[in-house]
Amino acid sequence: MATFYIKRGDTAPALRYALLPETVDLSGASVAFVMDGLGRQPAHVIEARPAVVQYDWQPGDTDRSGLHRAEFEVTYSDGAIETWPNAGYLLVQISEDLG
């Protein structure tokens, strides 16, 4: 499982994730980011092939410190849905800030 680290209250850096295998093609697809306590949020396709997706944090997204499970959900142009990672979850560690 990959772990992404960010401080409480931060909105950068964005969470960028490469979907494997490299043969995945996101042409015409839409993507959502889903995280414990955050729900489903729109994300972006950065590259269709090889597939790279990104979630840009919004104010309030990182207000709850702790370890959170997350995933990217892709809806292909034919309506099929696939979730990454396929096994387990991305982990998002939101650390307390000092300010």
pLDDT in tens, 53-77: 999 999 999 999 999 999 999 999 9
Average pLDDT of the segment spanning 37-47: 96
In whole angstroms, give the CA distance from residue 32 to residue 56.
Answer: 11
pLDDT at residue 21, as a whole number: 85
pTM: 0.93
Looking at 1-99, which runs of residues are DSSP E strands?
3-7, 15-18, 30-35, 39-42, 44-47, 52-55, 66-75, 81-84, 90-95
Q: Which residues contact 72 (CB under 8 A, 6 or more apart)?
A: 17, 19, 31, 32, 33, 34, 43, 53, 55, 83, 84, 90
Domains plus CATH for the chain? 3-95 (2.60.40)
User: Where residue 14 falls among pLDDT bands split at 50, 70, 90?
Assistant: very high
